[in-house]
Chain A
């Protein structure tokens, strides 16, 4: 009887991983729609190509070497138990381990489900980069970077944090980050920042007087749909990071994570909406959307321990920060068409530090962890972007940029019948 319950627990935890992984996979659709909505229509096809291709590149690279570097799961997933490998002996081994550890343990689940859950996080980190460099980067320079980011840069910092490895044998981190405000979101933003600094702003973003000009996005319904999709996917992102469902205590934790994740998104949206109304006099929808995402990023480092009210507040602070951050980066001439560096980087850092209040993490531990992630990702990304720039060039020509990268990179427009450009 005991063994049958352990078998069920194995099944339910594996199932939970898979469903949450599928939800996180769907976040790729959210990023694609959000970014397609916030760029101009002449750059839509290319941003869609980028988003769906980076997902494929991330899936392959994490399988080839990323999972090995991060969790010692073997190159080409050689460490993951295959269908044939789950023989009676293997099953007996799992049952023995479960019996020894008891029900309260983090439990046992299929190795393939763990890989599936981890690989979609890599893609999320990479998705963050695509929005920031939108409308001016060469498609294949971006995909070249994606190979290194998802196969090497992200897995290395992931191994120091979630897998607890020492940083190049030098020191070990004392760093708490439940679902990856820092490990996934700030890391993606650090890579994006390095790219944007080498790439420069979009043509026409800054006037002769140096003041930032608005370049309105083409499709706010798509941007809103993308935000809703991300909001939904985040339940898998944070909820799945409990890594287990079977058991009363852990199921209750999962429920609280869902609740807090939703509360923080709501807080973030309202926070950003109010600040935008006060600053600009009107309700800037794009800021409200960024605010919801900022709330989600802020709570990601600790969605389990805070109360729902505290989660709402953490989210709201994230939503307020993101508006000022977007305006500030604009002034610094860091052109980020979708606000990815602010949402995932600045607010990601805030989320990491908020754990000191909500989860009692050590301030020094969080600072050292965040600094390690940021500088590792930023410096290695800068090197990779720089090499790509030297060898292939990372930016399209002025003329191609004016025509839109849909034509120069993909050879097709997103809406050929509705916005004819004479081509």
Chain B
């Protein structure tokens, strides 16, 4: 099992959710976050003076998948969150030791 942690552009969230459903992902966790990558924030002008936005708003999604779902899920996120412009975000893959469904006590793949 793997945990996918993806940071994406907020307006792409609906498309990412739909594409993950299409590849059989049953649940995701979404958090509104702020941060910067190579894009390094940006500057706006207010009355002619610069106004630096250091941390840009992003959406972080967390998805737990079984190993055989991993590649389709990565592809689904990559495609649906892609705009080709700077700031599209990143996907991190981390090993997932265990998963437990609290209601039934199921574990592992059955709990996903």
Contact = CB atoms under 8 A, between A and B. Distances in A.
Interface stretch (B43-51, B66-74, B85-93): B43-51
A423 interface: no
A301 B27 CA distance: 68
B44 to A, nearest CB: 8
Interface stretch (A21-29, A162-170, A210-218, A236-244): A210-218
A300 B47 CA distance: 25
Interface in A282-298: 282, 284, 286-287
B50 A284 contact: no
Nearest to A217: B46
A280 B51 contact: no
Interface string B39-68: 000001111111100000000000000000
Nearest to B46: A214
A326 interface: yes
A203 interface: no
B55 to A, nearest CB: 16
Contacts of A286: 46-47
Interface string A329-352: 010000000010000000000000
Contacts of B50: 211-214
B5 to A, nearest CB: 31
Most buried by A among B44, B49, B50, B51: B49
A284 B47 contact: yes
A336 B50 CA distance: 16
A4 to B, nearest CB: 57
Interface residues of B, number: 8
B45 A213 contact: no
Contacts of A330: 47-49
Contacts of B46: 214-216, 284, 286
Nearest to B52: A213
Contacts of B47: 214, 284, 286-287, 326-327, 330, 339
What DSSP secondary structure best describes chain B's contact surface?
Answer: strand
A284 B49 contact: no
Contacts of A287: 47-48
Contacts of A282: 45
B49 A212 contact: yes
A327 B48 contact: yes
Interface in A259-299: 279-282, 284, 286-287
A287 B48 CA distance: 9
Nearest to A207: B50
Contacts of B44: 214
B45 A280 contact: yes
A296 to B, nearest CB: 19
A212 B48 CA distance: 9
Contacts of A215: 46
Contacts of B45: 214, 280-282, 284
Interface in B22-50: 44-50
Nearest to B45: A280
Most buried by A among B45, B46, B48, B50: B48
B80 to A, nearest CB: 30
A280 B44 CA distance: 9
A146 B65 CA distance: 69
Contacts of A211: 49-50
Interface in A191-248: 211-216
B53 to A, nearest CB: 11
A139 B47 CA distance: 26
A395 B48 CA distance: 26
A127 to B, nearest CB: 20
A327 B46 CA distance: 11
Contacts of A339: 47
A326 B46 CA distance: 11
A279 B48 CA distance: 8
A331 to B, nearest CB: 9
Contacts of B48: 212, 279-280, 284, 287, 323, 326-327, 330
18 contacts: A211-B50, A212-B49, A212-B50, A213-B51, A214-B44, A214-B45, A214-B46, A214-B50, A216-B51, A280-B45, A282-B45, A284-B47, A286-B46, A286-B47, A326-B48, A330-B48, A330-B49, A339-B47
Given A213-B50, A216-B46, A287-B48, 9 more contacts: A211-B49, A212-B48, A212-B50, A282-B45, A284-B46, A287-B47, A327-B48, A330-B48, A330-B49
Nearest 10 CB-CB pairings of A with B: A214-B46, A214-B51, A214-B49, A212-B49, A327-B48, A280-B45, A216-B46, A286-B47, A213-B49, A330-B49
